[in-house]
Amino acid sequence: MSLRIPLVSAAATSSVVLLAGCAGGGTGGPTAGDNRFIAGNGKIQEVSATTRHTAPQAEGSTLEGRPVKLSDLRGKVAVVNFWASWCAPCRGESQSLEQVYQQNKNNGVEFLGVNFKDDKDNALAFERGRKVSYPSVFDGDGRIGLAFKDVPPNAIPTTLVLDRQGRIAARVLGATTFSTLNPIVTKVLAEK
């Protein structure tokens, strides 16, 4: 299954991102000319076990300042969600993500948020206000997102599901829901 995404012009991309509701004012958010992102439409891309790419060796610090490495999640199914406080769809999906996390955390599933191009204080307020209980890495400069070259998080939000070997098993471009994400997590969790 090919996961290549066609390139679009900077002008078209900028228009699409604005229409998607993820271009916030004030602090945080992508800078002008950042044309790496397209609007997410909730499209699910599942990858067969034989063609999966290993997630990059990304690392950083949580919003609270604790070091974290993506490789530390190997051996467990991991859900990695790219989000920002300035992103309206991120606000909409946060309760669904927390619900999937609560339902699966005792079954060997880990969640890690990646707070993308945001203001740290706004990100912390977002997590407190929405009662997000799993950690998030602060990716203020976007380096972690850029490290995912084989299966990029081209929209904010994007959710990746990693298998126990640290390979990308699925990607949801755009906001997700409990009824979309939970079956994917359950399917990857059932793999041996």
At 39, the pLDDT band (50, 70, 90 cuts) reads: low
CATH number of 10-190: 3.40.30.10
The answer to whether the predicted template modeling score (pTM) of the entire model surpasses 0.85 is: no
Instruction: Kindly tell me if the per-residue pLDDT of 192 is higher than 90.
Output: no
Instruction: Kindly tell me if the per-residue pLDDT of 21 is higher than 50.
Output: no
Dihedral sign for Cα atoms in the order 148, 140, 138, 28: negative
Question: Under a CB-based contact definition with an 8 Å cutoff, are residues 39 and 117 in contact?
Answer: no
Gyration radius of the chain over CA positions: 15
Backbone torsions φ then ψ of 68, nearest 5 degrees: -150, 145
pLDDT of residue 165: 96
Q: What number is the average pLDDT over the span 115-133? A: 96
The residues spanned by each domain of the chain are 10-190
Q: In this predicted model, what pLDDT tens digit does every residue of 169-190 receive, in sequence order?
A: 999 999 999 999 999 999 999 9
